[in-house]
Amino acid sequence: MTTLGIRGAFFDFVDDPWKHVGREQEAARFHADGLMVIEDGRIVDFGAYDNIAPRHRALEVTPIADRLILPGFIDGHIHFPQTRVVGAFGEQLLSWLQVWVFPEELKYKDRAYAADAARRFFDNLLAAGTTTCQAFTTSAAESAECLFDEAARRNMRLISGLTGIDRYVPADYANTPEEFYRESKRLIGRYHRQGRSLYAVTPRYALGSSRALLEACQRLKSEHPDCWVNTHISETRDEIAAVQVEFTDCADYLGVYEKYGLVGPRFTGGHGIWLTEDEFGRFSRSGAAIVFCPCSNLFLGSGLFRIGRATDPRSRVRLAWGSDVGAGNRFSLLGALDEGYKIGMCNNAAVTDAAEAERNKISPYRGFWSITLGGAEALYLDEWVGNFEPGKEADFVALDWTAGPSALAWRQSLVGDRPRTVEQAADLLFGLMMVSDDRSVDETWVMGKRLYKKGE
């Protein structure tokens, strides 16, 4: 058994800050001098140093000084095979897929290419402070195998699955529904709940799915009800119009996934920018989650997600945040918080309901909860990750508030040499999300092991 202690300034969450309007700090927890005790990768004790240390006399303690230690970030929606097409010029969703994405993803039939990309993918995530993700692969089983294998090598928590598509796609890229069913089934047997891996049945999106492919998904989900389901929904208006033409028997976009029995707990739909009021209500009641991907939504010009609607307490929707790399132009979830904040403010140029306008404001509490505990809850991962509760896996990131762009300096000056209160820590975090990026990520730890150190 390996036991170690980490001493430093810890910031995590115990509740949803949107439930604590005007007193959001009640949802957070800050120990200016804290101690986390880790045994075999799991947190066994956590709290103020003076309270915890006497219980662990012979503990070997690693100090992480002058950093804010947060739970590792959770990226609810990312495309592993788009690592090499980040920042592709000039197209919106449907043409971007054809011009840039399918030709690149086609290369993932080559196992060596896919394995190399998987290493780069996790290197990028760790450098951004992200320790858990839900990731799309390609239509080739090799891509899913390389991703799961690389995650296992690093002992990282991953939700993923073979990504099925058989319509509106080049013929050499498409799956057949039979092959998709057979290969998904094999991959579930090999990876689901092995180590930290979890399997998601993954129809890419309704527009790219024949009825036979959706029936294959339905069969997989009914045979493996504890698997996740991951897909896209209502990202652009022309996509929705095309879905309505294809699925005239479904009232709306969510209705397609409902018809095939996919919507419920552990279902996630990326984007949801153009969902109707009725769809938001059904998301809320079913326990399914939306993933908000601000960088992507702005990069492709898809639209402004209604954060204030999704967080309406009268029918709250589970909400994770994602980078959506490569439509998202950066891996950093600090970058997602930056752009998400701006989307909230843009929404408020038109929103007239004062309560919704208030909910559109991404405070540091709302932002960092969303990429830690909130993301974990939305994706049904909170029994393992999301905060520093004993029993959970010791995934965390050490943020350096003294690094990053020089524009951060004025925020540091508000706090002095180090944050002493939860409000001061939150103030620094707001500076990090709005002004900084990966430069502030100093160390990333997975299951009690340091896997990334800036500059090494």
Give contact residues for ligand GUN (rule: CB under 6 A).
79, 93, 97, 101, 204-205, 232, 235, 296, 324, 327
Rounded Cα distance between 261 and 61, Å, is 50
Q: Which does 205 bind (CB under 5 to 8 A by kind): ligand GUN, Zn ion, none?
A: ligand GUN
Do residues 413 and 401 lie in contact, with contact meaning Cβ atoms separated by under 8 Å? no
Evaluate whether 79 touches 138 at the Cβ level (below 8 Å): no
CB of 232 to Zn ion, least distance (A): 6
Q: Which of residues 306-335 bind Zn ion (CB under 5 A)?
A: 324
**Of these partners, ligand GUN, Zn ion, none, which one is at the site of residue 317 (CB under 5 to 8 Å by kind)?**
none
Identify what 451 binds: Zn ion, ligand GUN, none; CB under 5 to 8 Å per kind.
none
Beta bridge partners of 35: 7, 47
> Rg of the chain over CA atoms, in angstroms?
21
Cβ 9 vs Cβ 425: under 8 Å = yes
Q: Which residues, numbered 350-379, are part of the site for Zn ion (CB under 5 A)?
A: none
Which C-beta is closer to ligand GUN: that of 97 or that of 351?
A: 97
Q: Which stretch binds Zn ion (CB under 5 A): 105-113, 265-273, 411-419, 439-447?
A: 265-273
* C-beta closer to Zn ion: residue 97 or 432: 97
Binding at 180: pick from Zn ion, ligand GUN, none (beta carbon under 5-8 Å per type): none
Is residue 321 within 8 A of residue 333, CB to CB? The reply is yes
- In the complex with ligand GUN, which residue's Cβ is closer, 297 or 360? 297
List, as one string, the DSSP characters of 128-187. Answer: TTEEEEEEE--SSHHHHHHHHHHHHHHT-EEEEE-EE--SSS-TTTPPPHHHHHHHHHHH
Task: Give yes or no for a contact between 320 and 370, defined as CB atoms under 8 angstroms apart.
Answer: yes
Classify 419 as helix, strand or coil.
coil
Nearer of residues 200 and 425 to Zn ion, judged by Cβ? 200
Smallest distance, ligand GUN to C-beta of residue 304, A: 15
- Give the CA count within 13 Å in the CB-facing half-sphere of 280: 19
Least Cβ distance, residue 94 to ligand GUN (angstroms): 8
Contact of 17 with 27, CB cutoff 8 Å: yes
Instruction: Give the residue with the Cβ less far from ligand GUN, 196 or 204.
Output: 204
Query: Least distance to ligand GUN from the beta carbon of 141, Å?
Result: 18
Q: Residue 9 CB, nearest distance to ligand GUN (Å)?
A: 36
Write out the H or E segment, with its range, that includes residue 238. Answer: helix 237-246
The residue of the chain with the least Cβ separation from ligand GUN equals 327
Q: How far is the CB of 223 from ligand GUN (least distance, A)?
A: 25
Q: Which parts of this chain interact with Zn ion (CB under 5 A)? A: 270, 324
